[in-house]
Chains A and B, each alone.
Chain A
Amino acid sequence: MIALKFPEINEILVWKELFPSFNKISLIAVLAVLISSALFFMAGRKSDVNEAPKGSRNLAEVIVDFIEDGVIMQTMGKEGLRWTPFLLTLFLFIYLCNVPGIIPLFQMPATARMAVPMFLALLIWVVFNATGIKHQGVGGYFKSVLFPPGVPKALYILVTPIELISTMLVRPFSLAVRLFANMLAGHILLVTFALLSEALFQANDKILIPVGILPFIMLVFLTSFEVLVAFLQAYIFAMLAAVYIGGAAHPEH
């Protein structure tokens, strides 16, 4: 007989406050800022222009190239390059909030709590709407959103409410939920297999102890899979943000 105590979902996601209003999620968010700043600060130090970049500069330039070539040029074109600092910040912040899910002692992605994804989704919502209004004016922007060109006028009865809900509600909701749900699901899977492995290894049974290797292998596999998920979710969020901003700035594209 084994004793397997699986904590309630809100027990594994609620953290003690390190000081009033500051818990592990806040700590991860602050660390994300510190790590990103330290990386780019070290990368920005003067170096010999005749030497190939290495170390922190190399890493920072790879990230910037990835954002510029892999996200902005694919979605917004050359005009979108002025958004590099924003999308770079977004990608780094999300990635560094995701990665602690597999880092010992932390073992909790900040994005597995709704606060961080919701804030980021609301921010993107504000940014792409503001960008659309700035480029097209209030009337022009809402006209392009609610009355897409090329649609027969009779269909506006159907299309306009759908576009309104899609652009104003579904976009931020799907952005937030996609990131939150993916990271929460990964976190729960890791907790499940870790608890199962521990319970089986500690069982006083000659059969159950070797069986414990199976959830442990799964745990190792899922941990490495979470490395990919952490990157992928940050990339998807940044990519969709770029698509929404680019679409608001240039609806004809």
Chain B
Amino acid sequence: MLTAIVTQTGDQVQVRLVSSETTDTTMPEAVLMSASAEAGSTPKTDAEVKTPPNPVNPAINEMLWAAGSFFVLFALMRYFLFPRLKKGTEARYASIRSNSEGAVQVKADAKTDVAEYEKALDAARAEAAGRVDAARQTVDNQRTAQLAQVNARIAAARAEADQKNAAARAAAQGDVAAAVATVATRVAELALGKAPDASVVNAAVASTMEGSRS
């Protein structure tokens, strides 16, 4: 059995003939359901076909609810919520500003302390440098004095040694001259048969030794 289904969309009217045993799955469910439901009832007139309102037309109830909601939110925001939030924010900003100013003061104090410390450090360094210079000067003086003393002692010892050396050399030369004179006298005595004059031998030996030294 065929059933006529009349649907209206805006100004367009559609008529479908649907079999109650249809297996056409492309048929919209709503159409099939309405077809089976309407199969036993009388067809509706155009006025009875309910078309949903045009979505572009603003619904008055939605507009009123939107307006009411918006104005409530605006009133809350204007007189309660925003000032409360802003108050908290301002308090935090004030606290941050205060802490920041405190930090600046602490930083300035710290800079002053550092400057004083550096000044004291410079003074201590200068004093230490002065003391080191003075100590160095003292040590230099002491070293110079001690060197002078040591050099004097060395010079005295050297002079004494030179004297002893000269005396020892003179003694050795005398001993050598005496030995040479003795040998020369004995040689001359053996050669000549008589002992030569001792003064002549000594003068000859002295003259010879002088000549060999020069």
Interface residues of A (CB under 8 A from B): 1-3, 5, 8-11, 13-14, 21-23, 25-26, 29-30, 32-33, 36-37, 40-41, 43-44, 46-47, 49-50, 53, 57, 60-61, 64, 84-86, 88-89, 92-93, 97, 110, 112-116, 118-120, 123, 180, 184
Contact = CB atoms under 8 A, between A and B. Distances in A.
Contacts of A112: 55
B82 A88 contact: yes
B61 A26 contact: yes
B91 interface: yes
Q: Which 10 A-B pairs have the closest CB atoms?
A: A44-B84, A115-B62, A26-B65, A40-B81, A10-B52, A49-B95, A21-B61, A29-B69, A115-B58, A13-B55
B62 A116 contact: yes
| B interface, size bucket | 35 or more
Given A9-B55, A40-B77, A50-B99, A22 B69 contact: no
B1 interface: no
Interface string B64-83: 11110110111011100110
B28 interface: yes
B45 interface: no
Given A32-B73, A37-B81, A5 B28 contact: yes
Contacts of A25: 59, 62, 65-66
B55 A40 contact: no
B29 interface: yes
Contacts of A46: 88
Contacts of B41: none
Given A10-B55, A26-B62, A85-B82, A1 B26 contact: yes
A120 B63 CA distance: 9
A21 B158 CA distance: 135
Interface in B13-63: 25-30, 51-63
B32 to A, nearest CB: 10
A250 B49 CA distance: 54
Interface of B: 9, 25-30, 51-67, 69-70, 72-74, 76-78, 81-82, 84-89, 91-92, 94-95, 99
9 contacts: A3-B27, A5-B29, A10-B53, A29-B65, A36-B81, A88-B82, A89-B74, A93-B73, A115-B58
Contact of A113 (B9, B55, B89): B55
Contact of A86 (B59, B67, B78): B78
Contact of A11 (B52, B61, B70, B76): B52
Contact of B26 (A3, A11, A84): A3
Contact of B88 (A5, A57, A86): A57
A77 B90 CA distance: 20
Which of B30, B60, B61, B73 has the most C-beta atoms of chain A within 10 angstroms of its own C-beta? B73
A162 B144 CA distance: 110
A116 B60 CA distance: 10
B63 A119 contact: yes
Contacts of A33: 69-70, 72-73, 76
A120 B70 contact: yes
A47 B77 contact: no
B127 to A, nearest CB: 46
B65 A22 contact: yes
Given A61-B89, A180-B56, 20 more contacts: A3-B27, A3-B29, A10-B51, A10-B53, A10-B55, A23-B62, A29-B69, A33-B70, A37-B76, A40-B82, A44-B81, A44-B87, A46-B88, A49-B94, A61-B85, A86-B78, A89-B73, A89-B74, A89-B77, A113-B55
Given A14-B52, A92-B73, A29 B89 contact: no
